[in-house]
Each structure stands twice: as C-alpha cells, then as structure tokens.
C-alpha cells in the first residue's frame, strides 16, 4: 500500500510530567502539527499527556483550529475488549492521515516503554509513514528526583511491570529494579522484595517531576497511578 500523499504519524514521548522536560523536537512538532491524538483512560478523565503539552499548544496562534482526538483506552485487562479499543483508535487516526494530515500521538514518558502508542503503531505502520520521538522515561526521571544513579559500571538494570513467577531469579540477577505500574502491585510483591536476602535501598516516587511529586523511602502507601519504585541492591 502506498504511503505517498498520506499524513505522517508521529509517536511523541512527552516525558514524565514537567512540560519543561519535553524535547525541543517534540515542541517543534507540537507547534506545527494539525492533529493531536491523546488517549484518555475514561471519557470523563483528562489525559495526562495532554495536560503536559497544554502549555505549549495553547500558545499556538491557530490553537482553535487544532484538532484533538481523544480515544478512550480503558485500563482493563480483557484482551478482546482492548483490541477493539485499539482498532477504533487506529481507525480514527487513519481518517486524518488519509486526508494528508500529520498526526502527533502523544504519550507519557517514552513511546517505547509500556506505551499505548505501540498498539496503534503496529496497526498503522504498514500503511503510513511513522516517526518516533523519544521522551524522558519515568524511571530515569525518578532516579533524578531521588538523586541516585540507576546503574554504574557493569550493573544490571531490570524493569518489572508487575509480579512475575520468576521474580526471585530476577532479583538475584540484577543490581537495580525499576518497578513500574506500582499502583497495581499488591503487598505480596512488596513482601517478596523486602524478604529478599540481599541488602537494598528502596525509594518510590509519586507524580515524579509534577507539582505534587512525593518521594518515599520504601513502597508508597496510597499508590497513585503515577508511582514508580526503584530498588537498589547493595554489593
């Protein structure tokens, strides 16, 4: 299928929260693009990615002409229902691309790390030109907030999204763990990590780089959606 005469899809990482952490490249595209796609988790919930780019796009002289697509990507686990939401979102984006309009799909952190962009990318990459703009990922931002290096020398960093049967093996073979999607993790996971025999330091960051950022020694109590835990094993 030809990609000529069609719009280009940009997958833009908007960083962890502070709008000043957007890349110059992301800002340049956001200042020129005619269509922004910013998924939200529920019809009545504001998209976090959109709130990060708002200070940029609201300054555009043509802000009123800007089209903002807000498909719903619910936080559910049912695979069939999820597929349907991703199909619908891809079709919505394709409508603009078919008109020759470029579209910026904005996504929290970096587009290559547990991002909704990847589902749309897979559906559209055969038919449309795609460019991915990296963003500062949450765990790198968390390391800056706690002022600790993630890894040094030949240290191994592991990213864990939720409890896995092989957690023990992962803990034995890594120096640092970035534990993401912390809000979904149960006490069981925390107990397993706490009881791991190796000496360790545990820090959690809620709403990293945002006005309400909170740094906690250990695991977070309330577990807001934007929380990440960094576990550093001592040598």
Ligand X SMILES: C[S@@+](CC[C@H](N)C(=O)[O-])C[C@H]1O[C@@H](n2cnc3c(N)ncnc32)[C@H](O)[C@@H]1O
Sole binder of ligand X in the list 94, 132, 177, 226 (CB under 6 A) = 226
Nearer to ligand X, 3 or 223 (CB): 223
How many Å apart are CA 30 and CA 55, to the nearest integer? 11
How many residues make contact with ligand X (CB under 6 A)?
24
Nearer to ligand X, 7 or 180 (CB): 180
Sole binder of ligand X in the list 7, 11, 17, 220 (CB under 6 A) = 17
Sole binder of ligand X in the list 33, 89, 103, 108 (CB under 6 A) = 108
140-162: string of b/e by CB count within 10 Å (b at 16+)?
Answer: bbbbbbbeeebeeeeeeeeebee
Q: Does 138 bind ligand X (CB under 6 A)?
A: yes
Residue 131 CB, nearest distance to ligand X (Å)? 17
Sole binder of ligand X in the list 104, 205, 230, 231 (CB under 6 A) = 205
Q: Does 190 bind ligand X (CB under 6 A)?
A: no
Sole binder of ligand X in the list 7, 14, 110, 128 (CB under 6 A) = 110
Nearer to ligand X, 7 or 11 (CB): 11
Q: Does 11 bind ligand X (CB under 6 A)?
A: no
Residue 98 CB, nearest distance to ligand X (Å)? 27
Nearer to ligand X, 100 or 218 (CB): 218
What are the residues binding ligand X (CB under 6 A)? Answer: 16-17, 107-110, 113-115, 137-138, 180-183, 205, 207-210, 225-228
């Amino acid at each position: 299928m030809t990609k000529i005469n069609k719009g280009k899809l940009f997958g833009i990482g908007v960083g962890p929260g502070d709008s000043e952490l957007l890349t110059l490249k992301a800002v340049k595209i956001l200042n020129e693009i005619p269509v922004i796609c910013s998924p939200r988790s529920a019809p009545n919930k504001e998209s976090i990615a959109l709130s990060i780019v708002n200070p940029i796009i609201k300054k555009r002289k043509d802000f009123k002409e800007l089209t903002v697509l807000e498909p719903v990507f619910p936080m559910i686990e049912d695979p069939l229902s999820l597929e349907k939401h991703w199909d619908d979102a891809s079709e919505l984006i394709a409508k603009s691309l078919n008109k020759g309009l470029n579209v910026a799909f904005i996504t929290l952190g970096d587009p290559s790390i547990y991002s909704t962009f990847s589902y749309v990318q897979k559906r559209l990459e055969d038919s449309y030109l795609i460019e991915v703009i990296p963003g500062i990922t949450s765990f790198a931002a968390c390391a800056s907030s706690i002022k600790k290096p993630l890894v040094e020398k030949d240290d191994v960093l592991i990213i864990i999204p939720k409890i896995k049967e092989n957690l023990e093996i992962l803990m034995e073979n890594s120096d640092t763990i970035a534990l993401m999607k912390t809000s979904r993790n149960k006490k069981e996971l925390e107990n397993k990590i706490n009881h791991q025999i190796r000496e360790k330091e545990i820090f959690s960051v809620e709403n990293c780089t945002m006005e309400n950022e909170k740094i906690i020694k250990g695991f977070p109590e309330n577990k807001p959606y934007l929380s990440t835990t960094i576990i550093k094993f001592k040598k």
